[in-house]
Amino acid sequence: MFSPTALRPRYAKWLIATGLFLMLSGCVDKPNTLERVKEDGVLRVITRNSPATYFQDRNGETGFEYELVKRFADDLGVKLKIETADNLDDLFSQVGKPNGPVLAAAGLVSSEERKKQVRFSHPYLEVTPQVIYRNGQSRPTDAGDLVGKKIMVLKGSTHAEQLAQLKKKFPGIEYEESDAVEVVDLLRMVDEGQIDLTLVDSNEVAMNQVYFPNVRVAFDLGDASNQSWAVAAGDDNSLLNEINAYLDKVKENGTLQRLKDRYYGHVDVLGYMGATTFAQHLQQRLPKYEQHFKAYAKKEKVDWRLLAAIGYQESLWQAAVTSKTGVRGLMMLTQNTAQAMGVSNRLDPKQSIMGGAKYLSYMKDQLDESIQEPDRTWFALAAYNVGSGHLDDARKLAAKEGLNPDKWLDVKKILPRLSEKKWYSKTRYGYARGGEPVHFVANIRRYYDILTWVTQPQLEGNQVAEGNLHVPGVDKTKPNVENPPL
């Protein structure tokens, strides 16, 4: 029989061994979020399906948020896996769930309420909340004018928070929060008179206004805010620190500015009247020529919407036009260009589109191999407008100024100098109206972006980005009468 005293040393050793085991077990740290992302080789991101954030076109995934977060994934050396949220509440609830998205990149504005759910990164885009009304209706001028209006905003948005605060001062303000709509839907509802007002951030108004010719900005509601990315709440700062370092870096090296220029640098090209006119012409004129744009674009291996955008810039999709300088037709070809491209009748829209497609393809082929996409397309458009010789002059001047001659963002700064003697006197081809190709490219980029969004089905629902597509909310009903040519 064992005595209690004989058991004590054994028991004490067992306790010590157990304690050491537990201590050693506690010292084995679980991998942090950043380590898990790198171990998995996948960055899981949740976003919204909209022109300002993420959508798919014929070339695949695109959008400002997508391109910014794709570069982050590339920096980490991992693949990017995107899913879209049904609504903002769903988006925030998904962040940080097991095997779910670790990051929300969706044009999010920080607020005290949202900070209870997530943590926000350094800012990367400044936006202003704006009150939107329908043209022809009484324009609201301040918050008091919101009383008695039918208002709808996105459920869970900072705009809903703003309205909740305003309601304390103006109890008569009534509004509906909906999780069944996106910004595009809200603008469409104002455009069609289904609701009186909505609140939308300035960048999304600018991106979408052209689809809705009756939409107008009434006034800015409050000060500008900053958009940021969001990660799960908690003490794990590993991913957040990496995000902040990345956002600081892309600000410093110009990547962020180039993305802003790509998506927002040309959003003011049309203005209210231009947006209205373009929306009408989308319905009235483009259908007459769309098959020709598609056929010749396919033959020349260019995007038909880019070709159509050139046609709109040149003639507003009108076949029988002649400029003061003698260029004619839907694609406004010169006599020499028409002959070189095999066009016998410049006023024949089919021939004109064929000639324009061949000429764009030719201009692209003439560019140096060092110019990569998407810059290659913008350079080809500039050459289409001003000629390859003047474009080469501008590239050489850009290089002398320490700029990158293969980047459109740099060369477009130099092109206007070709109209100044102190600059063009140093070039081979001399004077040119260098500002014109800059505006030419900016306009076409805007028209192209609109056509890309309007003609592509878009994702919806909380899903990995594939399948289940829908058409954007644009009125495609053909009007009874066409307006006279502009």
CB 198 within 8 A of CB 190: yes
Catalytic annotation, pick one of 113, 314, 369, 482: 314
- Sheet strand arrangement including 215-220: 198-201, 129-134, 215-220
In the block, tokens 């998904």 appear at 94
Q: Which of 189, 202, 178 is nearest to 88 (CA)?
A: 178
What is the spatial distance between Cα 93 and Cα 117, in angstroms, rounded to a whole number? 8
What is the spatial distance between Cα 203 and Cα 386, in angstroms, rounded to a whole number? 31
Q: Could you give the 3-state DSSP secondary structure of residue 295? A: helix
314 catalytic residue (yes or no): yes
Cis peptide upstream of residue 374 (ω within 30 degrees of 0): yes
Give me the amino acid identity at 470. H
Q: Is 122 exposed, middle or buried (0-12, 13-18, 19+ CB in 10 A)?
A: middle
DSSP label at 478? Answer: P
Tokens read off for 173: 């303000």
Cα radius of gyration (the chain): 28
In the block, tokens 């769903």 appear at 90
CA dihedral of 368, 369, 371, 376, whole degrees rounded to 10:
90
In the block, tokens 């980029």 appear at 445
Active site residues: 314
